[in-house]
Amino acid sequence: MDLFTAMRTFVTVAQDGSMAAAARRLNVTSALVGQRIAALEDHLQSRLLNRTTRQHSLTEFGANYLEHCRDILELVARSEGSASDQLERPQGLLRIAAPVSFGTEALMPALGAFTQQAPEVTFDLVLSDSNEDLIAGGFDAAFRIGALQDSTLLQTRLAPYRMVLCAAPAYLAAQGAPGHPADLDRHRAILFSRTGRRPWRFSRGTERHSWAPRAAITVNAGHAVRRAVLAGMGIAMLPQVLARDGLRDGALVPLLPEWDLPEQPMSLIYHRDRYRPQRLVRFIAFARSAFGVPRP
């Protein structure tokens, strides 16, 4: 039996709440997780877990042993991290989740700089507009847009996720450009289905205005919303990362630029582990540098 592997497996089971969840995170079978726990209990001559059909709970001995395991593994991780720092060679796989538009337009282009700094780190990127569960999905970290609900996770705050109201020149030539949010009543909107028909909110100084969009089309992919706007089908509130190139080359025109649009907080979230591999430490620093709030 590899004692350190068994200890890591036990800590993961205790943290994730079941052998199945731990198996997904460790990328092994549930049977192998069970074998490792059984071997560790046999080695210790004590039961670590109370097993039921659906979940596991720690025995009194298991709860005490868990703290010792965490202390030992943290010490080992610090030693490995120190060696990795000296060698400047973080290694291994990072499994990262990100929203589709941000991941495609912002994260992917920026990753080249990270891979040059850490060429022996490999990535498994999952791009999804659903908030992926870190534990169930076996993720090391995830970019999250919106308020963080799970207080058991740590977060690194990044620059806010900003939006821009825009349309194609051909559409504006036919329909005219709005001069005030009240003028939007005569315009058609292209909506991202995840945000639904939420009112669009505008502010300018002390003025506030909201508008319930009248959808010409609703679609479940941000890139498809952009394509519909480029085709002159209506106006849309696009993430800046999606609208940036079109605004630069004139294919898109910003609307009501003197009005402020809502922005959402964005974070990189990760597990509250007491030990953290050097590759993740380096990636957190990279995300803070690449996507963090600019210093004044």
3-class SS string, 213-233: CCEEEEECCHHHHHHHHHCCC
Percent of the chain with pLDDT over 70: 91
**CB-hemisphere CA count at 13 Å for 75?**
6
**pLDDT computed for residue 54 by the predictor:** 62
pLDDT, tens digit, 9 for 90 and up, residues 235-246:
999 999 999 999
User: Of the residues 85, 114, 136, which one is the last residue of a structural domain?
Assistant: 85
Question: Which domain CATH number covers 114?
Answer: 3.40.190.10
pLDDT at residue number 296:
43
The tens digit of pLDDT for each residue in 189-230 reads 999 987 767 899 999 999 999 998 888 899 989 999 999 999
Q: What is the mean pLDDT of the chain?
A: 87
Asked if 291 and 204 touch (Cβ cutoff 8 Å), the reply is no
The answer to whether residues 270 and 141 touch, using CB atoms and an 8 Å cutoff, is yes
If pLDDT is split at 50, 70 and 90, which confidence band does 83 have?
Answer: low
Band (276; pLDDT cuts 50, 70, 90) = confident
Of 64, 85, 106, the one marking the end of a domain is 85
Which pLDDT score is estimated for 80? 59
The answer to the question of residue 51 being in a domain is: yes
H or E, element range at 66: helix 60-87
pLDDT for 292 equals: 87
**From the CB of residue 11, how many other CB atoms can be counted at a distance below 10 Å?**
20
Q: What is the CATH number of the domain that holds 178?
A: 3.40.190.290
Structural domain including 151 reads 90-161+265-291
User: CB of 58 within 8 A of CB of 49?
Assistant: yes
Which DSSP string corresponds to 136-177? Answer: HHT-SEEEEES----TTEEEEEEEEE-EEEEE-HHHHHHH--
